[in-house]
Structure 1
């Protein structure tokens, strides 16, 4: 998954804690690269109970990792957020296809 602000892709993690940050932006789970964390306000959604930005979005709901508050995701905003992530990731389907071909031993044109 790329950084939702600049589109740079996360590389294989090194040992230890990842410098990338997870969050929810417009009802979609996103990653923020270390450079964007330093240069920009991440503009993440906040918990309706405690105000934290440590949210996760999964299976149609948003959960706060700080206080455990859970609410249903709003579908129209979730679609907008998903479009934002896809728009920042041109060529993702081609990259996935190439990776699967390498792993499964497929060759183009067969």
Structure 2
């Protein structure tokens, strides 16, 4: 899953806690990369808890839970099937095709 702000993809982390942050936007789990956390108010644009106003939310099994106060609510289904929060970055399949092309010294896939 890419960063919802810049589209950077998460790489295999070193040992220890991941520097990436989780959030919820439009009732879908999103990730925020370390670069965007430092360059922006990384909580802007994220959903907030109805109970305490915190942006420290997680989405799992059709529920959104606040990590600050414990408030839980049901996640709303997407309006259209396939709706996802995206940054407009290329999809993973396009990135994989481009990487394979580079490794095999081919032109763009198509």
Per the normalisation by structure 1, the TM-score is 0.71
Correspondence for 1:47? 49
Number of residue equivalences: 94
In the alignment, which residue of structure 1 is the partner of 2:31?
A: 31
Deviation at 1:93, TM superposition (A): 3.8
TM-score (norm 2): 0.71
Question: 1 or 2, which has the higher helix percentage?
Answer: 1
Q: 1:57 aligns with which of 59, 67, 74?
A: 59
For 1:88 and 1:69, how far apart are their aligned partners in 2? Answer: 31
Structure 1 residue runs of 4 or more that deviate by more than 3 Å after TM superposition: none
Residue ranges of structure 1 left out of the alignment (5+ in a row): 99-110
Cα distance in structure 2, aligned partners of 1:28 and 1:92: 18
Gaps of 5+ in 2: 100-110
